[in-house]
C-alpha cells in the first residue's frame, strides 16, 4: 500500500464529476411470554420485522425530505454535476473538477425546474473543492448541515444525493465502508490529479453527475461530498459496484469558509516536509524513492537535518518509491504530527524524526 488507508486496488478511479447533458430506530423486542405460555411466537416475529423495516424506511424518507432541498444540479456548457447549498447567501460548494475552467453556471434547485445564474467564487483544485454563488439567491434557500468528521464510523448508513447521468434529485443508499482513505484522482476532466486524504469510502452508488453532491447520514447531516468512483479495467472502465469516495465534511467546511471569506486558501490543513522533490530511480531505472531537490529554510525537513540529495524511501512504516508515493503518504498525515523519515545519504540508510509543517499555497 502506498500509505495507511491509501487506495491500492485492482480497480482504477474515475471522477464521478460531470456527465454529458445529451438515524433509524430498531424494532422493539416482543414481550416475554407469561408463565406457562408457549415460547413460540410465529405471529409476532414478522410483525416486529415489519415494524423495524417501516421505521428504517421512515428514517430514509425523513432524511431525504430534510436534505434533498439543499442539493442542486450545476450545468456548465454541455456537462453537469451537483452541488450543496452552503449558506443562505447563495453560496454553493461543489467539486473543483465540476466547475473546471468555467466561471458562469446554470443552477437548478431540487424543488424547482427554473435555472438560476451563478458565478465562480473561487476554486481550490488541490482539494478538489470550489464555491459558486447564485447571482440572485431566491428566498427559502436551505443550507445543508455538516457533520463532525471525527464521528463518522464504519457501518453507518449513508445516502448519496445528486444528479447522476443528469437525473436530478436522485438518491442511492449504502454504508460507510471505510474512513481515512487517501486517494489520488486521475488527471483530466478538470482535475489536476489531486491527492486527497481522510476520504470516506461508501458502498452507495456514485455515478457521473454525482460529483459535488451530498453523502448524508441518518441525522440529516452531510458527511462528505461525492467525488470519485472506482472502475474495473477488465470491463473497459465499467463501474466497480460499491466503491465510491467522498471528501470529508471537515475538509469541505475548512476550504469553503476560506474561499468565501478570502477568495483563496491560506491554511491548507495538509502536512508538508518543506521540500521540493522528484522521483528517484536506481541503476536498473526502477523507482527507488523521492530525492530531495531543495529544502525550505526553517521548514520541517531542514529542522530535522534533511538535505538536498537525500533520497526518501519511507515515511513512518509506509514505503516511498516515487514522488507520488511521498505525496500520498503525506496526505494521510496532519500538520504538527511527528513521523520517522527513512532516507539514503551517500549510500547509507538513515532516519530522522520530523515534526510535519503545513503545506503552503502558491
Q: Looking at the annotation, which residues are catalytic?
A: 97, 128, 211
Query: 126, 98, 100: which is closest to 211 by C-alpha?
Result: 98
CB 188 within 8 A of CB 101: no
CB 194 within 8 A of CB 260: no
99-134 as b/e: b if 16+ CB within 10 A: bbebeebebbbbeeeeebebebbbbbbbbbbbbbbb
Grid look-up 502558491 returns 362
Q: What are phi and psi of 347, to 5 degrees?
A: 80, 0
Specify the length of the chain in residues.
Answer: 362
The three cell numbers of residue 98 are 465540476
- The DSSP call for residue 302 is H
CB 13 within 8 A of CB 230: yes
Query: 110, 109, 130: which is closest to 120 by C-alpha?
Result: 130
SS3 at position 165: helix
CB 276 within 8 A of CB 291: no
Amino acid at each position: 500500500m502506498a500509505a495507511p488507508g491509501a487506495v491500492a486496488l485492482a480497480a482504477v478511479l474515475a471522477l464521478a464529476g460531470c456527465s454529458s447533458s445529451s438515524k433509524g430506530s430498531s424494532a422493539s423486542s416482543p414481550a416475554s411470554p407469561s408463565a406457562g405460555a408457549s415460547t413460540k411466537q410465529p405471529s409476532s416475529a414478522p410483525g416486529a420485522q415489519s415494524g423495524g423495516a417501516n421505521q428504517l424506511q421512515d428514517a430514509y424518507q425523513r432524511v431525504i425530505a430534510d436534505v434533498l432541498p439543499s442539493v442542486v444540479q450545476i450545468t456548465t456548457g454541455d456537462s453537469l454535476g451537483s452541488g450543496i447549498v452552503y449558506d443562505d447567501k447563495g453560496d454553493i460548494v461543489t467539486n473543483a473538477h465540476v466547475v473546471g475552467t468555467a466561471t458562469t453556471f446554470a443552477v437548478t434547485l431540487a424543488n424547482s425546474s427554473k435555472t438560476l445564474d451563478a458565478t465562480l467564487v473561487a476554486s481550490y483544485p488541490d482539494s478538489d473543492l470550489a464555491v459558486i454563488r447564485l447571482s440572485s439567491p431566491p428566498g427559502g434557500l436551505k443550507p445543508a448541515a455538516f457533520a463532525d468528521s471525527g464521528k463518522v464510523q464504519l457501518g453507518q448508513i449513508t445516502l448519496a444525493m445528486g444528479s447522476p447521468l443528469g437525473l436530478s434529485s436522485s438518491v442511492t443508499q449504502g454504508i460507510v465502508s471505510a474512513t481515512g482513505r487517501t486517494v489520488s484522482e486521475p488527471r483530466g476532466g478538470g482535475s489536476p490529479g489531486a491527492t486527497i486524504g481522510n476520504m470516506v469510502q461508501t458502498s452507495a452508488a456514485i455515478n457521473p453527475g454525482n460529483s459535488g453532491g451530498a453523502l448524508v447520514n441518518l441525522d440529516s447531516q452531510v458527511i462528505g461530498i461525492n467525488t470519485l468512483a472506482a472502475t474495473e479495467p477488465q470491463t473497459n472502465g465499467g463501474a466497480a459496484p460499491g466503491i465510491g469516495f467522498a471528501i470529508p465534511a471537515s475538509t469541505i467546511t475548512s476550504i469553503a469558509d476560506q474561499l468565501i471569506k478570502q477568495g483563496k486558501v491560506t491554511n491548507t490543513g495538509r502536512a508538508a516536509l518543506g521540500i521540493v522533490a522528484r522521483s528517484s530511480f536506481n541503476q536498473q531505472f526502477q523507482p527507488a524513492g523521492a530525492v530531495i531537490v531543495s529544502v525550505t529554510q526553517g521548514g520541517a525537513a531542514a529542522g530535522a537535518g534533511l538535505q538536498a540529495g537525500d533520497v526518501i524511501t519511507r515515511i513512518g512504516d509506509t514505503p516511498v518509491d516515487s514522488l507520488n508515493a511521498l505525496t500520498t503518504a503525506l496526505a494521510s498525515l496532519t500538520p504538527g504530527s511527528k513521523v520517522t523519515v527513512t532516507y539514503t545519504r551517500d549510500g547509507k540508510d538513515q532516519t530522522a524524526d520530523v515534526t510535519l509543517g503545513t503545506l503552503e499555497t502558491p
